[in-house]
């Protein structure tokens, strides 16, 4: 393994996928080629997903041969692909040095999101994360990060998809803000209009809470989105689940998020994975309305306001509809009662309504209210 690869700064000047658009232009100038050759090459790589220089037919033969002899194409090799019933695809890739990383393609409502790895392994050792148990091996280069995304797009287009991938999230293996140089470099290439041209609002970094990395991201020139994995409401529990909290406690994380918010004006997404019987009870006890499944831990059930007897979450929708219907009926009954009393009491007070009729009217109004309330049970 070359030292420069372990540093995560790219494989040097011979890694084609780690070259920015400006570096492609500079390389063409060095070789005495016109600047538009950089546009053509980037069009093949990022537009058509063609990675064999000899298939780039609008380049001269001499340039194709020089590219083949000078610039490597470190594409990952697919080792295994799995597909779940909801259409989610999971990929295991092997890098050129034999190291392996995973990435995931999510399908939701006609849109696709790629979850990309930024490191081989991870140094943070979060207790609920399988990657954390592997330890840390090395950072990925910009080209290795991009290679995952481009190969996923190529496989998708080869399968007949009409468009590429809509969104990308850096939340695969590794902590992206601990490999910021490579991650930021790959984002610049993804966003550049002459390369992939993916909009900034379609790119998200998901971090475990690297405070200094969040502050650095606030000064990044491309306004991408930020998500933070929280997973605990206090330092004691978060330090147990996520060891990074010991060096970067919640107070420091919140301070970094305030800085990010002030400098960018952007909202931050908070990610919180509920772990049954571990981190759900504190959240359930403080929530405005909390829900637990019947199969959840007794502690979670105790703190929940609503207990779902089945394992189907669509019971929440039925409960919401029933609550809205009941509230609407309560409002109707209140309005009817107010109108009745406003009209009937003055008439009875001045003697225009005899006592027996007033009694019947009161009983009748109560009956109307009760019958209207029974509609909530339908």
The region of weakest confidence among 106-115, 241-250, 281-290 is 281-290
Residues 132 and 253 in one domain: yes
Residue 309 domain-assigned (yes or no): no
pLDDT confidence of residue 185 = 96
Residues 98 and 231 in one domain: yes
Q: Is 16 left (phi over 0), alpha (psi -120 to 50) or beta?
A: alpha
Q: State yes or no: pLDDT of 148 exceeds 90.
A: yes
d(CA 191, CA 188): 5
pLDDT confidence of residue 11 = 41
d(CA 221, CA 237): 35
Under 8 Å between Cβ of 79 and 93: yes
Residue 172 domain-assigned (yes or no): yes
- The CATH code of the domain that includes 31 is 1.10.150.530
Residues 146 and 61 in one domain: no
Residue 131 domain-assigned (yes or no): yes
**Nearest to residue 60, comparing CAs of 41, 86, 87?**
41
Residues 157 and 81 in one domain: yes
Residues 33 and 104 in one domain: no
Q: State yes or no: pLDDT of 51 exceeds 90.
A: yes
Last residue of a domain, one of 273, 303, 328: 273
Percent of the chain with pLDDT over 90: 58
Q: State yes or no: pLDDT of 333 exceeds 70.
A: yes
The region of weakest confidence among 52-61, 120-129, 196-205, 271-280 is 271-280
Q: Which two tokens stand for residue 36?
A: 């538009």
Cα–Cα distances (Å) from 148 to 17, 77, 118, 169, 181, in that order, read: 11, 9, 10, 12, 17
pLDDT confidence of residue 378 = 67
Percent of the chain with pLDDT over 70: 93
The region of weakest confidence among 2-16, 56-70, 259-273, 300-314 is 2-16
Last residue of a domain, one of 213, 246, 273: 273
Residues 52 and 157 in one domain: no
Residue 53 domain-assigned (yes or no): yes
- Give the bridge partners for 205, in sequence order: 170, 226
Last residue of a domain, one of 273, 292, 323: 273
pLDDT confidence of residue 7 = 37
Residues 261 and 346 in one domain: no
Residue 292 domain-assigned (yes or no): no
pLDDT confidence of residue 10 = 37
Q: State yes or no: pLDDT of 173 exceeds 60.
A: yes
Complete edge-to-edge strand list for the sheet that includes strand 77-83 = 77-83, 89-94, 100-108, 111-115, 167-170, 203-207, 225-229, 268-271
Residue 284 domain-assigned (yes or no): no
Highest mean pLDDT among 10-19, 97-106, 306-315: 97-106
pTM: 0.74
pLDDT confidence of residue 138 = 96
* pLDDT tens for each residue of 5-41: 333 333 446 899 999 999 999 999 999 999 999 999 9
The sign of the CA dihedral 194, 200, 203, 209 is positive
Residues 88 and 32 in one domain: no
pLDDT confidence of residue 115 = 97
Residue 305 domain-assigned (yes or no): no
User: β-pairing, 225-229 with 203-207?
Assistant: parallel
Owner of token pair 């971090």 = 207
The region of weakest confidence among 132-136, 194-198, 238-242 is 132-136
Residues 265 and 320 in one domain: no
pLDDT confidence of residue 3 = 33
pLDDT confidence of residue 335 = 85
Mean pLDDT, range 267-276, rounded to an integer: 86
Three-class SS string for the chain?
A: CCHHHHCCCCCCCCEHHHCCHHHHHHHHHHCCCCCHHHHHHHHHHHHCCCCCHHHCCCCCHHHHHHHHHHCECCCCEEEEEEECCCCCEEEEEECCCCCEEEEEEEEECCEEEEECCCEEECCCCCCCCCHHHHCEEEECCHHHHHHHHHHHHHHHHHCCCCCCCCEEEECCCCCHHHHHHHHHHHHHHHHCCCCCCCCHHHEEEEECCCHHHHHHHHCCCCCCEEEEECCCCCHHHHHHHCCHHHHCCHHHHHHHHHHHHHHHCCCEEEECCCCCCCCHHHHHHHCCCCEEECCCCHHHHHHCCEEECCCCCHHHHHHHHHHHHHHHHHHHHHHHHHHHHHHHHHHHHCCCCCHHHHHHHHHHHHHHHHHHHHHHHC
- Give 347's pLDDT tier (boundaries 50, 70, 90): confident
Residues 34 and 150 in one domain: no
- The CATH code of the domain that includes 222 is 3.20.20.70
Residue 308 domain-assigned (yes or no): no
267 or 369: which leads in pLDDT: 267
Q: Which two tokens stand for residue 351?
A: 């003697």
**Domain containing 327: what range?**
314-377
Residues 92 and 199 in one domain: yes
* pLDDT tens for each residue of 207-255: 999 999 999 999 999 999 999 999 988 898 899 999 999 999 999 999 9
Mean pLDDT, the chain, whole residue set: 87
Residues 82 and 112 in one domain: yes
Domains identified in the chain, total number: 3
């Amino acid at each position: 393994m070359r030292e420069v690869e372990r540093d995560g700064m790219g494989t040097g000047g011979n890694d084609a996928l780690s070259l920015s658009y400006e570096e492609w232009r500079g390389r063409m100038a060095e070789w005495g080629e016109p600047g538009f050759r950089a546009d053509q090459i980037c069009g093949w790589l990022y537009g058509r997903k063609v990675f064999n220089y000899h298939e780039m037919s609008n380049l001269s033969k001499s340039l194709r041969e020089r590219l083949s002899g000078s610039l490597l194409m470190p594409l990952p090799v697919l080792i295994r692909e799995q597909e779940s019933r909801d259409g989610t695809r999971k990929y295991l890739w092997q890098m050129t040095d034999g190291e392996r990383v995973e990435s995931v393609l999510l399908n939701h409502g006609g849109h696709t999101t790629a979850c990309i790895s930024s490191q081989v392994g991870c140094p943070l050792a979060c207790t609920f994360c399988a990657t954390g148990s592997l330890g840390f091996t090395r950072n990925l280069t910009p080209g290795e990060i991009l290679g995952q995304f481009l190969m996923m797009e190529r496989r998708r287009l080869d399968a007949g998809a009409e468009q590429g991938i809509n969104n990308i999230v850096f939340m695969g293996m590794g902590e992206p803000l601990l490999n910021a140089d490579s991650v930021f470099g790959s984002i610049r290439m993804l966003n550049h209009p002459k390369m992939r041209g993916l909009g900034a609002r379609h790119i998200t970094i998901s971090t475990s809470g690297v405070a200094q990395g969040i502050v650095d991201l606030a000064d990044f020139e491309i306004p991408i989105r930020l998500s933070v994995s929280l997973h605990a409401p206090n330092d004691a529990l978060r330090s147990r689940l996520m060891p990074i909290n010991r060096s970067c406690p919640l107070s420091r994380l919140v301070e970094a998020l305030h800085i990010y918010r002030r400098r960018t004006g952007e909202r931050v997404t908070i990610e919180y994975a509920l772990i049954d019987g571990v981190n759900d009870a504190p959240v359930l006890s403080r929530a405005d309305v909390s829900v637990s499944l019947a199969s959840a831990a007794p502690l979670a059930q105790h703190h929940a306001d609503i207990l779902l007897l089945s394992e189907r979450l669509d019971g929440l929708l039925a409960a919401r509809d029933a609550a809205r219907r009941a509230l609407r009926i309560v409002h109707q009954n209140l309005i009817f009662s107010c109108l009745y009393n406003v009209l009937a009491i003055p008439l009875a007070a001045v003697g225009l309504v005899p006592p027996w009729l007033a009694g019947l009217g009161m009983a009748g109004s109560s009956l109307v209210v009760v019958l209207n309330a029974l509609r909530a049970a339908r």
